Amino acid sequence: MTVRTAGWKPPGGVAQVGWHTDRQYWQSCSSDDMLTAWVGFHDVDEVNGAVAFLPGSHRWDITGLDFLSQDAAALEASIVAQGFDPAPFVPRMKRGQVSFHNCRTVHGSSPNLSSTPRRSIVIHLQPTTNHWRPGPAHPNDTLVPHNPTPDYTDPTIQPHLWPTPQ
């Protein structure tokens, strides 16, 4: 588990987070079964940029989808062309509530159209089998010991939340 401050979404309708999966940023992890826990410090909804999810997308084969594209309409068209549903689910959440998403779930968030910042924190969870592999570094890699490569097992940084199944 790694805690990482994430969300400072200023008011004014500028910042948005485009569709993406967290897996695409965690290339240096061996596991496909990581989770993100997202916690808002405010009530969130469509107005102040709640995180939106594409239901079931953790099961999609996304190799044909270009999440780095700046063209949202083209990306949506390619989602449809692959036979997937681009209709998002936007959970309205009270401050302090937690949402969990699989690292392969496609998600993003819209601009904050309210008059106050939207702040949040994210917690990254990994199975104990996860280990470093060569790949583009993630900021989490700077938080963990290196022995000599990033070591995702240090319980000081990565506490166990659930015992390893016997």
Ligand X SMILES: O=C(O)CCC(=O)C(=O)O
Rounded-to-integer distance, Cα 35 and Cα 57, Å = 14
CB 52 to ligand X: min, Å? 9
Q: Which stretch binds ligand X (CB under 6 A): 3-11, 27-35, 60-68, 75-83?
A: 3-11
For ligand X, how many residues bind (rule: CB under 6 A)? 13
Which residue from 1, 3, 17, 37 is in contact with ligand X, where contact means CB under 6 A? 17
Q: Select from 36, 33, 28, 31 the least CA-distant residue to 1.
A: 36
Which residue from 2, 109, 130, 140 is in contact with ligand X, where contact means CB under 6 A? 109
Task: For residue 54, count other CB atoms closer than 10 A to its CB.
Answer: 20
Which residue from 2, 28, 34, 36 is in contact with ligand X, where contact means CB under 6 A? 36
Rounded-to-integer distance, Cα 95 and Cα 110, Å = 18
- Tell me if 112 contacts ligand X by CB under 6 A: no
Q: Which stretch binds ligand X (CB under 6 A): 4-12, 62-70, 76-84, 130-138?
A: 4-12
Rounded-to-integer distance, Cα 40 and Cα 42, Å = 5
CB 70 to ligand X: min, Å? 17
- Tell me if 107 contacts ligand X by CB under 6 A: yes
In this complex, which beta carbon is closest to ligand X, that of residue 161 or of residue 163? 161
- Tell me if 120 contacts ligand X by CB under 6 A: yes
Torsion over CA: 49, 97, 108, 80 (sign): negative
What is the biggest distance separating any 2 CA atoms in the chain, rounded to whole angstroms? 51
CB 166 to ligand X: min, Å? 32
CB environment 68-85: b (16+ within 10 A), e (fewer): eeeeeeebeebbeeeebe
Rounded-to-integer distance, Cα 120 and Cα 5, Å = 7
**Both tokens assigned to 156:** 């000081």
CB 87 to ligand X: min, Å? 18
Binding site for ligand X (CB under 6 A): 6-7, 9, 17, 22, 36, 38, 49, 51, 107, 109, 120, 122
